[in-house]
Structure formats: C-alpha cells, structure tokens
Amino acid sequence: MYQLFLYIALFIGVIPFWVLIYKNREFSFKQPIVPFIWLTFIASLYESVGTLLLQLDTSYWFRFYPLVEFSALYYFFYRLIKPKNKTLYGVFLVLFVLVYGYSIFYWKKYDDTLFPDAITTTFLTLFVFFGAIQWVKNLFEKMHISNLWKNAGFYFISGFTIYYSSTFLFFLLSDLIFSSNLYYNDYSFVNVLATLILRVLLIIGVWNMNRN
C-alpha cells in the first residue's frame, strides 16, 4: 500500500506541469505558482528516475531541494499577496539563509540528513502559515474574489497548508523515529499522502488558472 501511494505521488507530480503546458502558461513566470510547478516536475522526474530507477545518491539533492523549495514558495507568496510590509518578507529571507546555512553546516559536520530536514521544514512550515494567514487576511479586507472554488490561489494555499501542517511533526521527529524501533514507513506514509494531496490540489489549481 505504501509503495503504491509512493509511486502515485511521485508520478502525479508531472501532471501539474502538463496542465500548465496545455494552458500555455509554462513560461508565464508572472503567475506566482509557475516556479513551484517546475520544481515539482523536476523533483518528480529526479526522484522517480534518478532515485528509484538509477539508484543515485540523493543526499545532495535533498540538501539542495529546501533552497529551491523556499525560493519557489517565497516567490509564490510574494507575488500572490504583494505585501505592503516588504521588510517582513526580507526578514524571512535573511532568516532562511541563516537556517539553511546552519542545516548545511550540521549535515557536513555530523553526516546526518534527517535533522537538517527538520530544521528547514520547520522554518518552511512557519513561512507557509504566515503566508496563508496573510492571504486570508487580504481576502477579508479586499473581498476581491467572488468564487473561491474557481480561484487557483485558493487551491494552492490549501495544498501548501495541508502539506506543511501534516508533515511538520514527521520531519521534526524523523531523526527520533528513525533511530527508534518504530517502523519508519508508517510515519513516512503521512508525507506520501500529504504529497499526493498537495499535488492533486496543484493540478486543480493549475486547471483553474485562466488561459493565455
């Protein structure tokens, strides 16, 4: 069951990108979500082809991934919300650089990949929640969206908040779980399921984007 969901979650990651191409928006970087869709597409290809098939070492990829992930998320929230208080976003950027730098340092020093993941994911979760709350606040202030079910941003925000909230404790405790007698895959299944939900919501969101 775990393997089945894992493969589905991996391969479904390419679909948002194909929907983007169908909508003629794959290079439309004015759309906040496009970099994240590209990232999801590349990650799906790398993890399915590189990891599963070619059995490549993924430790460098999983160290590099949080950097591009944060960049894509930062771009998404910054373009979507267009914040009045840009300083706060600047602070987040600086904090991430410090957090990421520390995660690389820890990885190099202790040759441990799980704890660095915990550090970066915790920060990303905080950032995503901050962005989501700002978006909801904007929603009530401007009342500019008449139908949320037809709004792409709603699906993206829902996907991100569901994914990062449900995997927060998994990444935070992954080191402990891995070193315990607990069956790791039971908990990793939360990540697989959350990834699947995120990617499905990305597909729906991209589908709801207007065509060129």
User: How far apart, in whole angstroms, are the C-alpha atoms of residue 185 and residue 192?
Assistant: 10
Is 139 one of the binding residues for another protein (CB under 8 A)? yes
Nearer to another protein, 24 or 180 (CB): 180
User: How far apart, in whole angstroms, are the C-alpha atoms of residue 5 and residue 157?
Assistant: 23
User: How far apart, in whole angstroms, are the C-alpha atoms of residue 166 and residue 11?
Assistant: 21
Is 77 one of the binding residues for another protein (CB under 8 A)? no
- 44 within 8 A of 14, measured Cβ to Cβ: yes
How many CA atoms, within 13 angstroms, populate the side-chain half-sphere of residue 21? 6
Closest distance of CB 199 from another protein, Å: 17
Residue of the chain from 85, 181, 210, 212 that contacts another protein (CB under 8 A): 181
User: How far apart, in whole angstroms, are the C-alpha atoms of residue 171 and residue 207?
Assistant: 30
Site pattern 145..164 for another protein (x: CB under 8 A): xxxxx----x---x--xx--
Interface ranges with another protein (CB under 8 A): 129, 132-133, 136, 139-140, 143, 145-149, 154, 158, 161-162, 165-166, 168-170, 173, 176-177, 179-182, 187, 190
